A and B are shown apart, each in its own frame.
Chain A
Amino acid sequence: MRTIIIACCGLLLCVAKAGAQVPDTTQRADTSQRGDTLSYDDAAEVAYLYNLPAALRATRDLTIPASQTVEGDLSVLEASLTVAGHVTGRVVVINGDVTLTPGARIDGELVVTGGEVRGADSARVGGALKLYRPVMMYRMEGDRVVAVHDESRSVANWFRRWKRRHERSMSRIKLKGGTYNRVEGMPVLFGPSIRSNNALGPLHVEALGIYRSADGFAWKADNLGYTANAEMQFGYGRGVAVGVDAFDVVQAVEPWQLRDSEIGLASFFLRRDYRDYYNRKGWRGYLALREGSSLSLTLGYGKERWQPRAARDPFTLFRNSADWRANPTMDAGRFELVDATLSYDTRNNVDNPWTGWLIVANVEHGWSPEVVLGPAAPVARPDASSPTSLDYTRGFLDARRYNRISPQSQLNLRLVFGGWLGGDALPLQRRFSLGGAGSLPGYDFRDVTSGEDVLTCSDGAAIPGSPAQCERVALLQAEYRGNLRFHLFGGAGAEGWNWSFYHPLQWVVFADAGRGWLLHERESDGTLGKTSAFPSLDTFKSDIGIGLDAEVLGIFIAKSLTDAGNPINFSVRLRHRF
């Protein structure tokens, strides 16, 4: 029995001794505290500990050598601490790193915010180790540190909401201006807009009245209109949407060539309006399948009344005494329309794409029992002195591919193809033209070229406003862009090189080729005959050009290749050409 007791005592002693030999890290592990959060209470406690009388304070990087002993507490603010020696008290480091070399010794606790602790396993910390990784927010009152509330979470919450501000529920009165043009002047849109997010998806309702500035904001029917939309989407991001539009608006023909902002500025400043317009009044319902913002398919049906609009004389900043180009008289009638639009967008950046696709394809079938045809060239469509019925199908494709071919250059391509697909001749509202900054900048807008007119298909007929009359159009645009290297700041270095600038300035070399055509052409004997589906390539018009593009603004010069006598054209674009 005595032997057993002695053996047990011996075992206990061994265990006790072994326990005494366990490194301090084991003991510290029980009391250590490491966190990715730092509450205000934690910060206040750290500030309190920092403000206690200390044997040594530092606001610069500090090293305690192996031979040194700090008798008491040690506090460090916004600096790093290296301990090789001995601190008999507590160590508090606010927003700095701590390095403990082997053999270092801290008798009290170690409290660190906004930094890391290295070497704790090979050193000895008598008290608890409290490590808060977030940077501590504080202000100084004399020598005292005062913790302040951390607004980062609130700011982060606000920022997340701010980024999604267009996607959240809201109701507001909207007041905005439309595109300045020679038919309306400045259309001012005003009315309520509501978006409500619910369990099924977002509901959007908007009803805007339109008041036009032409004729000095005169209160008359020509200056009034409206546009309203109600849409319910089932699902967020991916989903199915159903909606209905009601409208009485001035609609642009061929909006695909130039952006609204370019049209508005050219009209307001230079009295040059590069679009034609007609009035569109009616309603349209649609069903849309959407996959985020990259893919959508929209099917629509509507009834509309189209009417021609005349150009008026809105104010412009320059050339105010010059005449506006007449707005061509468009076809008039009540139409029923069925359409399908596919949109596919994989661009890495909408404003400044370097890679990806943008494809928009549309097919429209329209019919009307009675249409008053606007003036057109005899070759463009059969004469009709009295109203006639129309039943047509039209397609349109705008496909763009953006390619980065090196870190500082890209090759971009655009193909536009559109036109008649079946039925009767297209109404003027659905016809095409080329020429001008948005398509063939080497040719003037609505330029009636010598010989066969393959840009507006006018066949030489002089019609006020020179309307677009082509029934089909094909256009290929290519451009090579290179960054202009401004080594303004930085430069070559061992790890590579880098540069920076305020606006990415690029040089651009481009080429365009295209033409429009009718499905009939005048034979040598003066009669009309059917044309082939696709004209010979040697009849296409082409141009080349160069430019400087600062992303928000670009200047370009272009020269026709196929008509050597055409002068060099100069154009200014807002954002990239396409």
Chain B
Amino acid sequence: MRRLPLIAFLLLLLSTPLAAQRDARLEIKLPSASEVTRRSPEVSAQNVLGDRRLEELLHSGFPARLHFKLELWSADGVFDALKSEAEWDVIVRYNPLERRYSAVRIVQEHAAPLGTYASSDSVQAAVARPYRPSIRLPSGNGRHYYIVMLDVEMLSVNDIDEVERWLRGELSPAVRGERSAGTALSRGAKTLVTRLLGGRSQHYEARTRVFRGRE
């Protein structure tokens, strides 16, 4: 039992990979002081798919989901208050037939294609382009700040299966009772292997400085 603290500490370190990814960063940039109540901040994610394992999974046909969440907080009271938030997703996918990567930004019900690209670097550059989300802006003279969070996850075997079926035009969902339990077990095992190989999610956060609504 005396070794338990050491084991736990090592586990903690393993769960916090510090610099495994080349230049990966999430950035948020406030508009100029005169525009801070009229424009939302710019968000960009650089090289978040640059990890070698993520690239391999992506190239093997596993779609990547980049889930962004932007929060506007007020810092006026004893406790900070969440004033508004915005969420959007970017789906990156590799099409092995056309040998091209495609990226789509999805905001609520609206999908905006970000283009198709021949190389991983190109699609990462497209994903990294600054985006200004629609969010309710700060008003008055209060103190505020933005926090943006990004979760990158590789979608599992089941998810890919659903993508393929959907793209083939099948209206029925992929997970169906007509499949045998053996198939379900096999899919579960594949999913587990996928996760163990690195199909886990990665989390990033960034925030702005505290600013006043009218500076």
Question: Interface of A with B (CB < 8 Å)?
Answer: 95, 114, 134-140, 148, 150-162, 165, 168-173, 175, 190, 192, 194, 270, 348, 354-355, 403-407, 411, 486, 488-490, 495-505, 548, 550-555, 570, 572
Contact = CB atoms under 8 A, between A and B. Distances in A.
Given A151-B102, A499-B206, A139 B116 contact: yes
Interface residues of B, number: 76
B112 A407 contact: no
B113 A503 contact: no
A498 B26 contact: yes
A283 to B, nearest CB: 25
Interface string B110-153: 11111110100000000000000000000000000101000000
A486 B73 CA distance: 22
A192 B205 contact: no
Contacts of A136: 115
Contact of A548 (B12, B73, B116): B12
B104 A158 contact: no
Contact of A156 (B19, B106, B179, B184): B106
Nearest to A405: B79
Contacts of A354: 82
B195 interface: no
A501 B205 contact: yes
Contact of A155 (B30, B85, B91): B91
A503 B114 contact: no
8 contacts: A135-B112, A150-B113, A160-B106, A173-B181, A500-B26, A501-B203, A501-B204, A553-B15
Contacts of A153: 111
B8 A505 contact: no
Contacts of B80: 355, 403-407
B18 A502 contact: yes
Contacts of B207: 407, 498-499
Contact of B79 (A148, A403, A486, A499): A403
B73 A502 contact: no
A489 B23 contact: yes
Given A173-B184, A405-B78, A488-B18, A138 B173 contact: no
A159 B15 contact: no
B116 A148 contact: yes
Given A406-B80, A570-B4, A152 B112 contact: yes
B145 A489 contact: no
A481 to B, nearest CB: 13
A553 B11 contact: yes
B96 interface: no
Contacts of A161: 162, 166, 173
Closest 10 CB pairs of A and B: A156-B111, A496-B209, A498-B206, A489-B25, A171-B177, A152-B113, A158-B166, A152-B104, A404-B80, A403-B79
Contacts of B111: 152-153, 155-156
B16 A503 contact: yes
B207 to A, nearest CB: 5
A298 B11 CA distance: 40
Contact of B104 (A156, A407, A505): A156
Contacts of B25: 489-490, 500
Given A175-B181, A348-B71, A504-B203, 16 more contacts: A134-B113, A152-B113, A156-B106, A158-B166, A159-B91, A170-B173, A170-B175, A172-B175, A407-B75, A407-B207, A496-B30, A501-B203, A502-B21, A550-B12, A551-B203, A553-B11
A165 B18 CA distance: 33
Given A151-B102, A157-B166, A173-B177, A555 B9 contact: yes
Contacts of B145: 407
A404 B166 contact: no
A292 B173 CA distance: 24
A170 B115 contact: no
A159 B115 contact: no
B17 A162 contact: no
A163 to B, nearest CB: 9
Nearest to B204: A500
Contacts of A489: 23-25
Contacts of B113: 134-135, 137, 150, 152
B147 A495 contact: no
Interface in B149-187: 155, 159, 162-163, 166-167, 173, 175-177, 179, 181, 184-185
Contact of B112 (A134, A154, A501, A552): A134
A496 B15 CA distance: 29
A155 B12 contact: no
Contacts of A152: 102, 104, 111-113
Given A156-B104, A497-B209, A553-B15, A502 B9 contact: no
A157 B211 CA distance: 38
A486 to B, nearest CB: 7
A60 to B, nearest CB: 15
Question: Which interface residue of A148, A151, A165 has the most chain B CB atoms within 10 A?
Answer: A151
B75 A406 contact: yes
A270 B4 CA distance: 10
Contacts of A403: 79-80
Interface string B187-207: 010000000000000111111
Nearest to B1: A270
Given A139-B116, A175-B185, A503-B203, A498 B12 contact: no
B7 to A, nearest CB: 9
Contacts of A495: 29-30, 208
Nearest to A146: B98
Nearest to A272: B1
Contacts of B167: 151, 154-155, 158
A148 B101 CA distance: 12
A406 B82 CA distance: 12
B91 A550 contact: no
A493 to B, nearest CB: 8
